[in-house]
Structures are given as C-alpha cells and as structure tokens.
Amino acid sequence: MLLDLSEEHKEHLAFLPQVDCAVVAEFGRIAVEFLRRGSNPKIYDGAARKLNVSSDTVQHGVEGLTYLLTESSKLMISELDFQDSVFVLGFSEELNKLLLQLYLDNRKEIRTILSELAPALPSYHSLEWRLDVQLASRSLRQQIKPSVTLKLHLKQNGDHTTEVLQSDPATLLHLVQQLEQALEEMKTNHCRRVVRNIK
C-alpha cells in the first residue's frame, strides 16, 4: 500500500534534500519528540538559525517528516512500499535510505505513542430491554403505540456507566438492519485488508 501525499506535504518535504543527512536524522528525532511532547518553537528557531532559513521552513520540514512517519507507521506499510512512496518525491538514494532507516527504527515507538493518544472509548457490557405498548388514552380509545426502552451498560477503564434509550420499533429495526449491513461489509476482502493494516 503506497502513501498518498498531498502537494502541501510534498512541498514541506522538499526542504529535506537541501540539508545534510545528519540534519535530516536530527529532524527525525525532533519529529518523534514532537509526537511525544508536542511542538517546541525554540527547537525550530535554533535549527533555523544554524541553517540560515526561516523558522517556518524548519517547522514545515519537521511536520512533513512527522506526517510521513506517522502515516507509514499507522498503516504498517512494508519497506518496499515505503521506498516506493518516498521514491515519488524524487530524493537522492542516500536520503531515501536514511528516511527508510528512520521509519524502521521508529515505527514501533510511533505506533505506541499513537495508541496512547487514541481516545479510550466505552465498550459493551450488557443490555436490558422492555417493550411498552400504549393501547388507549383519554382522547383516543383505540390506539396502539409501541415503544422499546433499552438500558445499555458500558465499561470504560473499569468504570461502569449506563445509558437509557427509547425508540419506536421501526427505528430500532432500521438500526438493526444498518448494523447487520456493517457486519456484512466487515466480511469483504477490502475491509479485512484495512483492518489487518490498522493492527
């Protein structure tokens, strides 16, 4: 699977061939630090003074490299796919090898950092339901108005929460159909490939 880089990202990465490979390696270290601790303008200013370029140019270069490494790590692309993705940028062979080495050295750490940044979503624990049917009211003697009440128990980091939902049967049937359609979609080859690459 090849990375699809936008023109903006290509422009940001176009700065890398203008500097020495040692500087690109340092940018790689800064990119991983950027993921760990966030942006640090002082680092960009110091590097810009040493390289005699603007701080924005250095920042865009580091952000472009960060994007390249995070997207590659997220998709767990192979060495060959990474080389093909970078080859499109028209860099020298030495720079391509250095970027590949940066990717191989940091992909596990980047995936760990990204997994820590991902929000912890609640997961299903149990479900209680009740069917209520209103047969008549003071104004309407013959009326059938069904409703389904669901009590959804969720777990998140050891904590249990409860959500109460109420719906009419037609909406609930539509929801069930949509979920069944999503489950069927997960069985297709395309979805299996995507899920395999995400893990």
Nearest to residue 65, comparing CAs of 14, 109, 112?
Answer: 14
Close Cβ partners of 195 (under 8 Å, ≥ 6 residues apart):
186
| Verdict on whether the full-model pTM lies above 0.85 | no
**In the predicted model, is pLDDT for residue 44 greater than 90?**
no
Q: For 18, which DSSP code?
A: G
The pLDDT of residue 199 is: 57
> What are 155's two structure tokens?
């777990």
In this predicted model, what pLDDT tens digit does every residue of 90-146 receive, in sequence order? Answer: 788 888 888 888 888 888 888 888 887 777 788 899 999 999 998 888 788 888 889
* pLDDT tens digits, one per residue of 135-191: 888 788 888 889 999 999 999 888 999 999 999 999 999 999 999 999 999 888 888
Give me the residues paired with residue 162 across strands.
153
Check: CB of residue 91 under 8 Å from CB of residue 42. no
C-alpha 138 chain-centroid distance: 54
